[in-house]
Structure 1
């Protein structure tokens, strides 16, 4: 019996659908040629009431609202009104579905404004686009922390970033490293930003943390920390903080 379907016979002798053995991302390898270069073969018989785009859109909506852990093949199938087994010809496992989701939302990163020619300014613009994008889809930082196979939308944005780096004179490998470093920075910052936003919803916890740091600064054993905490504060808006961190990163890049 086909392992992919993972079907079992019930006591009436009829097949029943079961949840895939492992829904975790990374459980199965993804063949990029099969995924991105070979179009989905048309199904025989009656045309289904759903499409791969519909499946991906349903999964993205679910992840945006509840997190990537909430996305399962069974739940997505129920959302589009299909049997879970019928999804396998579109996305054979959750890892493939996640690849499709990442590239699907990357289509939102369409860049219409031309590059300005100042590569540092252009990289900062790209990073701000990425931050806004990841804040719209809070599951993205975690999804991007594992190896992803770039699809057409992702490659289009990468092409734009590489064009921004052309004035640097860096070789190809270095350009890819800079883009990877920038994306990792944005993903890490957004993940922290989301965590801090959630923590700020608990005023008691924020107040307790402030009292704790004040006590530590006053104990005489942490003079460097005490000096830092006594210094004038800087704008603490999320946008201002991101811009400061981003500036330190990009202004410190060596283009030689």
Structure 2
């Protein structure tokens, strides 16, 4: 019986799009194609990291000759672009232009984080590529449209997009243990052993430092960013708009 493998099949529309990973029997898909090659690259990246990717290694994993890959993928750079496109194409969100812009920002950030959770190492490939395909441009289109509709100018919209990407990727790196942390996922760090005489503040907050709820911390940071956007927008807005429900108006907030 053939081995089963999840291969991505895309269905997308401009204002509402999604991707389903459909289980197919690879024993029945004997012909090599771009989707199989990209899927093999994603699997390899998640196991060993992007540095492990080479055309020769992918060919070996698929059990085919390396030259046969070039009929579908011209080079490694194109393969990594394909990885980024495949990962982005699995983002599932439908933008609602009638929703408050702050809710749209939150939803988009959570959607990107969700797919980053599924493919943490491949997400690093995503943020390192300059994509021009639909799957690469659509999330950017959504995000920038939201920023512009909120009243930010083009430069601010791009800067805000980059801030959110940096925050989400940084959060992901911490969650998967790439960055240093005092959280329990680092058993080699003994906060209780820190000299309270030299570091009184750290010692006094040791109980908090060993707590780690990634979801809660992500939401805390996300809300900080959204509130900062509200304040910045209010400081330059030329028209009045009632504040979002639950938001305490800041000086200059319209």
Verify same fold: TM over 0.5: yes
Match of 2:77 among 95, 99, 108: 95
Unaligned 5+ residue runs, structure 1?
Answer: 1-47
- Equivalences, count: 201
1:51 counterpart residue number: 33
Query: Residue by residue, what CA displacement relative to the aligned partner does 1:220-239 show, whole Å, maximum 9, x if unpaired?
Result: x4444455x16867973110
> SS of 1:109's equivalent?
coil
Match of 2:192 among 193, 208, 211: 211
TM-align CA RMSD: 2.9
> SS of 2:177's equivalent?
helix
Q: Which has the higher contact order (CA 8 A, sep 6+)?
A: 1
Unaligned 5+ residue runs, structure 2?
Answer: 1-29, 237-254
Partner Cα separation in structure 2 for residue 76 and residue 243 of structure 1: 38
Give the alignment's TM-score, normalised by structure 2. Answer: 0.68
1:112 counterpart residue number: 94
1:241 paired with 2:217, answer yes
In structure 2, the CA distance between the partners of 1:239 and 1:196, relative to structure 1 (3 Å rule), is farther
Residues 157-166 or 119-128, more deviating: 157-166
> SS of 1:146's equivalent?
coil
Partner Cα separation in structure 1 for residue 50 and residue 101 of structure 2: 34
In structure 2, the CA distance between the partners of 1:180 and 1:156, relative to structure 1 (3 Å rule), is same
Partner Cα separation in structure 1 for residue 93 and residue 45 of structure 2: 24
Q: Which has the higher helix share?
A: 1
Q: Which has the higher strand share?
A: 2
Partner Cα separation in structure 2 for residue 86 and residue 152 of structure 1: 26
Larger Rg: 1
1:62 counterpart residue number: 44
